[in-house]
Amino acid sequence: MKHNIFWFRRDLRLEDNAGLYHALRSNHPVQCIFIFDKNILSKLPEDDARVSYIHQELTRLSKELKEYGASLQCYYGNPKTCWKAICEDFEIEEVFTNRDYEPYAKKRDQDIEKYLLKQKIHLRKYKDHIIFESDEVTKDDGLPYTVFTPYKKKWMKKMESRMMGKDSYFLSAYPSLKYSSNFHKRKKSKIISLAEMGFKQSDLEIPSKEVKRSLIKKYTEQRNFPAINGTSKLGIHFRFGTISIREKARHALALNETYLSELVWRDFYSQILDKFPHVVEGPFREKYKNIEWRTDENDFKAWQEGKTGYPMVDAGMRELNATGFMHNRVRMVVASFLTKHLLLPWSWGEAYFAEKLLDFDLASNNGGWQWASGTGTDAAPYFRIFNPASQLAKFDKNLKYIKKWVPEYGTEDYVEPIVDHKFARERCLATYKEGLAKV
């Protein structure tokens, strides 16, 4: 008997899953699969919390599938080799999946698509991870936006016209499970253990998927203060698709436009990565390529460990190291400090965040780092340099956040600043000016 395959990637849920919905509505029983990609896993530390989380969520999916008499088959290895095995394990009619916009994923999918076509198997891809893809929100001449505010205006206009026009179901959930009778009935799931892949369980706590409506309602007033539990901490769930972006966008539309704006940022950086993949290797704006970054390993280490003598920077880095999370306001402060005060390459900070953040997402992380260093789209001009002391006075004036993460602050045990603010500011301005003059 022929089967259709649904390939899970960054969409680890059964409900409201676009690709799965289309697979289940097809004419053949649907078998779900997941591939642990060795190319990605081989670069990660053995206690990587994201790997533990994916494994935990696959185990949950497998249990949920069992309720429908179905199963999840996991493969481990190079995706192309795994697909050879999948094609041997099942007689396949078509493969369904949701689109991924990262350069590595796009190349992988092209290769797999070619391989499947050779076997006369069609790969069907759907939009699930974002609200609008890069070709859906463009300038009037069809070119991509590179500045957020006009992008957001067009995004909102598009949303309103879709919701009010014939597409009023635009943000509605895909009722995947209405068609659950079309899952391939196969009892035994196959999920490789973490140990078999050389990983061990991480003990980092994963933020909840549930967010109180009151938090979203008060988001505008509270989101900038790291001592307040005022942001949703849903980043990791958006990253792995353990929640639906459509559901959260519906809530945001109803409850708070500022929160909706943050989801628009997510689409914005996704389209930047899709249309300008050179950002992965270097600055978005070419003219910043000649900046002479310092390469002082000791300063980098002090920054990583939260021992710079700037309390807001140190609190943020210690929070990141201990929990895998850092508040957005503090991300901006620590990123500005690394690139402007210490003049270390933004790519170093980007790589450190990529290793530590639970919600690490290539598009948003790269966008955030390039924004902070002044090399990106829509960036603050390079001569606008965050003053960590004023940021502290404004956003944690009672030192509640600082006291939590830097308990020795204010005592003689606290380190002296590793660089003087005024000196660092002038050095930064001179270096950027010099780099830009070389173009």
235 touches ligand FAD (CB under 6 A):
yes
Q: Which residues between 317 and 346 bind ligand FAD (CB under 6 A)? A: 328, 331-332, 335
Q: Is 283 in the site for ligand FAD (CB under 6 A)?
A: no
CB of 420 to ligand FAD, least distance (A): 24
> Can you tell me which of 16, 361, 378, 396 binds ligand FAD, judged by CB under 6 A?
361
* CB nearer to ligand FAD: pick between 94 and 314: 314
The three state secondary structure string of 42-73 is CCCCCCCHHHHHHHHHHHHHHHHHHCCCCCEE
Which amino acid appears at position 307 of this protein? K
Per CB under 6 A, 353 contacts ligand FAD: yes
- Which span sits near ligand FAD by CB under 6 A: 72-80, 265-273, 277-285, 375-383? 265-273
H-run or E-run covering 74: strand 72-77
Q: Comparing C-alpha atoms, which of 72, 101, 112, 145 is closest to residue 10?
A: 101
Distances from the Cα of 85 to the Cα of 9, 81, 123, 218, angstroms: 18, 7, 16, 50
Residue of 365, 375, 377, 391 interacting with ligand FAD (CB under 6 A): 365
**Site for ligand FAD contains 373 (CB under 6 A):** no
> Residue 276 and residue 137: Cα distance in Å, rounded?
15
Q: Does 405 bind ligand FAD (CB under 6 A)?
A: no
Find the binder of ligand FAD among 8, 148, 155, 269 (CB under 6 A). 269
To ligand FAD, the closest distance from the beta carbon of 106 in angstroms equals 19
DSSP letter (8 states) at residue 134: T
Does position 272 interact with ligand FAD (CB under 6 A)? The reply is no
* Nearest-approach distance from CB 211 to ligand FAD, in angstroms: 8
Position of minimal CB gap to ligand FAD: 368
Neighbours of 2 (CB within 10 A): 11
Binding to ligand FAD by residue 70, rule CB under 6 A?
no
Residue nearer to ligand FAD on the CB measure, 4 or 231: 231
Q: Tell me how crowded residue 207 is: count the other CB atoms within 10 A of its CB.
A: 18
Q: Is 247 exposed, middle or buried (0-12, 13-18, 19+ CB in 10 A)?
A: middle
Burial bucket for residue 398 (CB in 10 Å: 0-12, 13-18, 19+): exposed
Using the rule CB under 6 A, which residue among 368, 374, 376, 388 binds ligand FAD? 368
Q: Residue 67 half-sphere exposure, CB side, CA atoms within 13 Å?
A: 7
- How many residues bind ligand FAD (CB under 6 A)? The answer is 27
Residues that bind ligand FAD (CB under 6 A): 223, 231-235, 238, 262-263, 265-266, 269, 328, 331-332, 335, 353, 357, 359-361, 364-365, 367-369, 372
